Amino acid sequence: MKSEKKNFGFTLIELVVALFILSLVLSSAIYSVQQYADERVLLKDRFFAHNVAWNQLMKRYQVSQAWSATSNQIVLKKKGKELQGRTDWIWELEIEKAMGQDLYRYQVMVESPDNNKTQSTLAVYLIKSN
């Protein structure tokens, strides 16, 4: 009688290959989740920066249209900080003459206080009232 030995199971090479494939899949999944989280933060910051720029341009528009009696009392600055989304955003307004009588280009650039990188730039053309 000859005794036959049957081996059931995986060899060490098969286990190493399976673990390598599993590590590739898991690392790419973690990378994708991290990228999604980073993009979400960037979009949130860009949204708040756009709000700051839009607010500054709207102040200028209200004054140019003399919408209310209080529009004459609005203090118009060319630089400042505005709190939006628990962050003090730094904004700067540039005004330059455009073609046409009393037509000016108002451009607001908003920077993040963390990295001094421009997050938003919005521009509008208005007839200057003062």
Which residue in 89, 126, 120 sits closest to 106, CA to CA?
A: 126
Q: Kindly tell me if the per-residue pLDDT of 30 is higher than 90.
A: yes
In the prediction, which pLDDT does 71 show?
A: 53
- Count of beta carbons in the 10 Å neighbourhood of residue 45: 20
Q: What is the C-alpha to C-alpha distance for residues 74 and 50, in angstroms, rounded to an integer?
A: 21
* pLDDT tens per residue across span 98-127: 888 889 999 999 999 888 888 999 999 988
Query: What's the CATH superfamily of 12-127?
Result: GSPII I/J protein-like (3.30.1300.30)
Q: Return the residue matching tokens 């900080």.
A: 81
Which residues, including other chains, have CB under 8 Å from residue 113's CB and lie 6 or more apart?
81, 87, 88, 89, 90
Mean pLDDT value of segment 15-35: 96
Q: What is the DSSP secondary-structure string of 33-97?
A: HHHHHHHHHHHHHHHHHHHHHHHHHHHHHHHHHT-SGGGGG----SEEEEEETTEEEEEEEEEEE
* pLDDT tens per residue across span 40-96: 999 999 999 999 999 999 988 888 887 766 555 667 889 999 999 899 999 999 999
Q: What is the C-alpha to C-alpha distance for residues 47 and 119, in angstroms, rounded to an integer?
A: 9
Tokens for 92, please give them: 């700067």
Q: What is the C-alpha to C-alpha distance for residues 38 and 32, in angstroms, rounded to an integer?
A: 10
